[in-house]
Amino acid sequence: MTKKIKVAIIGSGNIGTDLMMKLVNKGKLLELVAVVGIDPESEGLAKARALGLESIDKGIDGLVASKHYPDIGIVFDATSAYAHKHHNDILQRDGKRVIDLTPAAIGPLTIPPVNGRDNLDAQNVNMVTCGGQATIPMVAAVSRVARVPYAEIVASVSSRSAGPGTRANIDEFTRTTARGVEVVGGALRGKAIIILNPAEPPMMMRDTIFTLSDDVEYSVIEDSVKRMVADVQTYVPGYRLKQEVQFERFGSNRPVHIPGYGDFTGVKTSIFLEVEGAGDYLPPYAGNLDIMTAAAHGTAELIAARLLGAH
């Protein structure tokens, strides 16, 4: 039997429960042994009990007291940015590797197809945000073929797929995503906007990415974008372009003024995405949560391989 790394999830909400189902059904080098929450009646903890997992309703203190805790190598935190800071202090003290699904951004920002293998030795790895996981690959696709002075992303998600944790993290979402657009995506300046759409029936995640880049051939950018889409589809099959990439060229006769940068000349690229979830636990329209949990799961598998000496 293949040796596995024991893992736990803190957070029994939508993200934690979807991640739980991925680990149970698709885990290769990871063995989920405990799910942690604070509400004993939560659906996530009930599902964990039904699956024969240790269900802990006393938060981080309950996890530390668990019989499994000494053997756990990786802990996923799917709570809130505020709570994660406290959790991380305890987990780092005890030598646990941490994968942070909140916007706390204590550890290095990680987007699997862009820098997924760069941070495997970090004690805490941050998965940015759902909007970041969807849009930063597109910014990176442009920045790897042209300098990008400015990039702006708009992530639109169904309000049904935004639970209490997501709503509590809106400010952190915008700051962390914008930082990820710059640090990981390669833009000199980034901006992020999130929209919670109450439409019925619920809409799938939609993302719009605008970049202003140096003047290169449209085909060079388009090819890079489509290659990056294919890379993301290896772990999120429902990730796709909603329409063809659009371009507009700005010459010296009509530059765009960017506050803090000055007059811009070059190419504006507009990318429109749709993200359909795999339906492991949540409905397919919740692609915003699916891309987050898929990215965290994939990153954890790489870390487990490193810990087991496979890579």
84-98 burial, b for 16+ CB within 10 Å, e for fewer?
A: beebbeebeeeebbb
Phi/psi region, residue 128 (left: phi>0; alpha: psi -120 to 50; beta: rest), is: left
CA distance 192 to 126: 17
The angle subtended at Cα 287 by Cα 281 and Cα 293, nearest 5°, is 60
CA distances (Å), origin 222, targets 149, 156, 199, 237, 261? 18, 23, 31, 20, 25
- CA atoms in the 13 A half-sphere facing the CB of 53: 27
Contact between residue 278 and residue 233 where contact means Cβ atoms under 8 Å apart: no
Catalytic residues: 130
